[in-house]
């Protein structure tokens, strides 16, 4: 593996996450200082040139999203930046790492985004269960206000920005951007129909940029070092580093920051030290519950947006759940489908009924009776007709499961 600079976890474990001095002494807020010699337009250009794509799961180009939000309603007096810190995808715990170990990095990234789209307010929507992260962010926001990094006329770069922290309360669905905005407005987390996208009509009807924690954490590097440095990392179409969250029976589990394009084999056998004694690698579930299975034949595939897409797989949030030869795959799939049924909000019929039908089918005692065609057809039907990504997701694990393992016998 070529050497590469750490971006999201550069300070992780090396500084006190509660101290703004530590952050400043390790190059923190250098990017904001640089903004004084840049225009919002040039920041947008730089981020677009970096090729950064959303790290929350969908992989949408960040620069493009920012440009849409910045230009969708020129007469609007308000524009919002929202950080999606509602990390609920099973197997994903990367945003927590950033917030627990380097919360100022997230705030700096959000200030850069706010400058680029000329936003007035920034909100962090965080999982209610992430108590240490909440504590760190509350403290970090306060220190930033005290030192003039938030509030009126930040460092004389012509930006006024108010930041607030809002907590979720245990809904997976609120990690979907439009549902997140509903919840942020203090309502039940029901998905909105799109279009309009948040870039046009988001929070309280104003243009809103919603990005993931990890995405924001890349902006300070891109502005400080320039996009030329950033595009040296990664593959042709997937630039930069990515946090991979490895769980399962490997020797070393956890969050690892690696360049996009690393192979599954390198990740499991080099970085994570291989399988634990007595376990054999069988498959990896990439991207969490709303992800896809990849078996041994896929070990040498590069973990990058374009290569995975070509194989019909997903990178998703960066979750890599290792399945070993002792894993009960039927039980695992049942657990995944139970998860979707539990988290379905019930607003649209295909998802409300569909998630139940899928769970009923897989719960049959006799594996031979489980109708794989039924699972596939029903989940495909849901994918076509459901309102939001939750109902569109069960087809991913089901289809990839059938592809590699045929059935549950």
Q: Which of 80, 149, 230, 339 binds other proteins (CB under 8 A)?
A: 339
User: Does 391 engage in binding with other proteins (CB under 8 A)?
Assistant: no
Q: Which of 194, 280, 309, 342 binds other proteins (CB under 8 A)?
A: 342
Place of tokens 């920051």: 257
Both tokens of residue 222? 């891109």
Q: Which of 57, 248, 318, 389 binds other proteins (CB under 8 A)?
A: 248
Place of tokens 């990690």: 175
User: Does 107 engage in binding with other proteins (CB under 8 A)?
Assistant: no
Residue with smaller CB distance to other proteins, 92 or 307? 92
DSSP state of 341: H
- Give least dist CB 11 to other proteins, A: 20
User: Does 296 engage in binding with other proteins (CB under 8 A)?
Assistant: no
H or E stretch at 75: none
User: Does 14 engage in binding with other proteins (CB under 8 A)?
Assistant: no
Of 3, 392, 10, 64, nearest in space to 214 by CA: 10
Residue with smaller CB distance to other proteins, 35 or 246? 246
- Check: CB of residue 214 under 8 Å from CB of residue 87: no
Q: Which of 79, 127, 192, 201 binds other proteins (CB under 8 A)?
A: 127
Cα–Cα dist 90/282, whole Å: 19
Site pattern 170..199 for other proteins (x: CB under 8 A): xxx----------xxxxxxx----------
Cis before 196 (ω within 30):
yes
- Give least dist CB 223 to other proteins, A: 29
User: Which of the ranges 151-159, 214-222, 227-235, 244-252 carries the binding residues for other proteins, by CB under 8 A?
Assistant: 244-252
Widest CA span of the chain, in angstroms? 69
Q: Which of 46, 89, 176, 257 binds other proteins (CB under 8 A)?
A: 89
Site pattern 251..280 for other proteins (x: CB under 8 A): --xxx-------------------------
Q: Which DSSP string do the residues of 286-302 spell out, in sequence order? A: ETSTTSEEEEGGGTT-B
Report CA-CA distances (Å) from 278 to 250, 296, 324.
Answer: 11, 17, 10
User: Which of the ranges 9-17, 259-267, 342-350, 357-365 carries the binding residues for other proteins, by CB under 8 A?
Assistant: 342-350
Q: Which of 224, 225, 247, 385 binds other proteins (CB under 8 A)?
A: 247
Residue 197 Rama label (left phi>0; alpha psi -120 to 50; beta)? beta
User: Does 9 engage in binding with other proteins (CB under 8 A)?
Assistant: no
User: Does 308 engage in binding with other proteins (CB under 8 A)?
Assistant: no
Q: How many CB atoms lie within 10 A of CB 365?
A: 6
User: Does 310 engage in binding with other proteins (CB under 8 A)?
Assistant: no
Report CA-CA distances (Å) from 92 to 77, 182, 283.
Answer: 36, 23, 17
User: Does 309 engage in binding with other proteins (CB under 8 A)?
Assistant: no
Site pattern 315..334 for other proteins (x: CB under 8 A): ----x-x-----xx--xx--
Residue with smaller CB distance to other proteins, 180 or 303? 180
- Give least dist CB 170 to other proteins, A: 4
Total residues belonging to the chain: 409
Place of tokens 């905005």: 181
110: buried, middle or exposed (CB in 10 Å: 19+, 13-18, 0-12)?
A: buried
DSSP state of 270: I
Report CA-CA distances (Å) from 29 to 48, 95, 155, 225, 226.
Answer: 21, 20, 10, 13, 15
DSSP state of 20: H
Query: Residues in the site for other proteins, rule: CB under 8 A?
Result: 87-93, 96, 127-131, 166-172, 183-189, 245-248, 253-255, 285, 289, 319, 321, 327-328, 331-332, 335-336, 338-339, 342-343, 345
């Amino acid at each position: 593996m070529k050497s590469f600079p750490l971006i999201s976890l550069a300070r992780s474990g090396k500084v006190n996450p509660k101290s703004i001095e530590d952050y400043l002494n390790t190059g923190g807020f250098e990017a904001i200082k640089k903004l004084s010699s840049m225009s919002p337009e040039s920041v947008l250009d730089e981020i677009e040139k970096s090729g950064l794509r959303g790290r929350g799961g969908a992989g949408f180009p960040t620069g493009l999203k920012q440009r849409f939000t910045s230009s969708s309603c020129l007469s609007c007096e308000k524009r919002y930046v929202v950080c999606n810190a509602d990390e609920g995808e099973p197997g994903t715990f990367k945003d927590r790492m950033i917030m627990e170990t380097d919360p100022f990095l997230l705030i700096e990234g959000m200030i850069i985004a706010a400058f680029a789209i000329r936003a007035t307010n920034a909100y962090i929507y965080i999982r209610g269960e992430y108590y240490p992260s909440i504590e760190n962010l509350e403290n970090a926001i306060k220190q930033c206000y005290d030192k003039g990094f938030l509030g009126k006329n930040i460092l004389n770069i012509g930006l006024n920005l108010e930041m607030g922290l809002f907590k979720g309360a245990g809904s997976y669905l609120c990690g979907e951007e439009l549902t997140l905005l509903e919840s942020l407005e203090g309502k039940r987390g029901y998905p909105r129909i799109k279009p309009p996208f948040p870039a046009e009509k988001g929070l309280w009807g104003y243009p809103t940029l919603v990005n993931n924690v990890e995405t924001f954490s890349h902006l300070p590097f891109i502005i400080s070092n320039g996009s030329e440095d950033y595009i040296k990392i990664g593959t042709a179409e997937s630039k930069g580093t990515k946090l991979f969250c490895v769980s399962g029976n490997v020797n070393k589990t956890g969050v690892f920051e690696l360049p996009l394009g690393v192979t599954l084999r390198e990740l499991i056998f080099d970085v994570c030290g291989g399988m634990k004694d007595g376990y054999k690698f069988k498959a990896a579930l990439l991207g969490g519950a709303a992800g896809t299975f990849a078996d041994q034949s896929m070990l040498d595939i590069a973990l990058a947006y374009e290569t995975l897409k070509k194989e019909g797989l997903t990178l998703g949030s960066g979750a890599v759940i290792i399945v070993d030869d002792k894993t009960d795959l039927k039980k695992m799939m049942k657990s995944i489908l139970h998860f979707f049924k539990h988290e379905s909000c019930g607003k649209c019929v295909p998802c409300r009924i569909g998630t139940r039908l899928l769970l009923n089918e897989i719960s049959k005692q006799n594996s031979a009776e489980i109708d794989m065609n039924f699972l596939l057809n029903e989940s495909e039907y849901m994918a076509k007709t459901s309102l939001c990504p939750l109902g569109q997701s069960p087809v991913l694990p089901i289809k990839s499961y059938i592809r590699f393992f045929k059935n549950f016998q």
